[in-house]
Structure 1
């Protein structure tokens, strides 16, 4: 495999989960993706070495451990998220387990994603940034999702499946809205709709 091909591999949930297991890290891959998305939204520029350091900290390792394929995966993830956030196609998606996982696991991963996203934005001094009322309401709704997650019990049925998909879409739209507002000149996003309450 050429180095050019190696640098363009798509990082999926299971691939990142495998890396976490190799490092005996029990964080959700979705948390990593949420943290990275928040970093990219909250900063005008995220240096690659800074991301590698943060990635290592999330793994519970120091930066020197990230070598070879592990280092490349972290950089591929950075490039992948940045490209999706800034692309005109608006095809950004939170990194979540697919529908082969139980509904409860998928909801838990989404909550972890939101926690990582909000933590990164807070660290970026979001309070002093200019956000529209829609974007601020979106962030408030994300915080409510996290707050209420412990009181939410999901059963695998068609209604909850639809609600989770709607919730994922809401989270996706809020993330893109925040990015476009804090990075002028990027594609505009429709205002996110309020999330549907899960049963």
Structure 2
């Protein structure tokens, strides 16, 4: 079990204890969408956005905020690494395929929400990013049950990989890496 799978289990359990109807996958999707849409890495905007999204605007319980901060920091680190290191926060591969598929749908829905919060001008996006967003919209609408079997496992693996690479594409094109943020001239008003 990798770190993101452990995070998925721990964070989802903590959210459930607090009666918050969101999963770790959905929250990491929001993070990636916000970052891929142009939110600066050091921004703390995600805290308010997540509280609005999952907790009716009420502040998050400290335990959950700490876990989400750790997940956010890990996600940021993975996005800026040059070796395509992003690992989606999804259930373990031993979980039933429908549970993993549902978590992926939640991740994509979260991404679309987060992206929309920080990017409303798609005219500056490349054709590849536009296509990825269209595909994400299609994926987010999927609601078919998946049968157990090698064919469905392979299909889910391929969709997870496509989502992962597409999220990194959005970040690489529209996100703000630390180098970009430092090289931007500071303006005085």
TM interval, shorter chain, is 0.7 to 0.9
Structure 2 residue 92 is the aligned partner of structure 1 residue 94: no
Q: How does 1:41-56 map to 2 (within 5 A)?
A: 41-45=36-40, 48-56=43-51
Which of 138, 141, 144 is the matching residue for 1:144?
138
TM-score by length of 2: 0.82
Inter-CA distance 26–44: structure 2 relative to 1 (3 Å threshold) = closer
TM-score (norm 1): 0.78
Task: Show the 5 A alignment for 1:61-76.
Answer: 62=57, 64-67=59-62, 69-76=63-70
Are 1:21 and 2:16 counterparts?
A: yes
Of 96, 101, 121 in structure 2, the residue corresponding to residue 107 of structure 1 is 101
**1:43/1:124 contact within 8 Å kept:** yes
Let me know the Cα RMSD of the aligned residues.
2.3
Q: Within 2, Cα distance between the matches of 1:21 and 1:72?
A: 16
Match of 2:161 in 1: 169
Q: Distance in 1 between matches of 2:83 and 2:58?
A: 33
Native 8 Å contact 1:32 1:58 kept in 2: no
Question: Structure 2: any 5+ residue segments left out of the alignment?
Answer: 179-189
Asked if structure 1 preserves the Cα contact closer than 8 Å seen for 2:30 and 2:114, the reply is yes
Deviation at 1:52, TM superposition (A): 2.1
Distance (whole Å) between structure 1 residues aligned to residue 11 and residue 44 of structure 2: 19
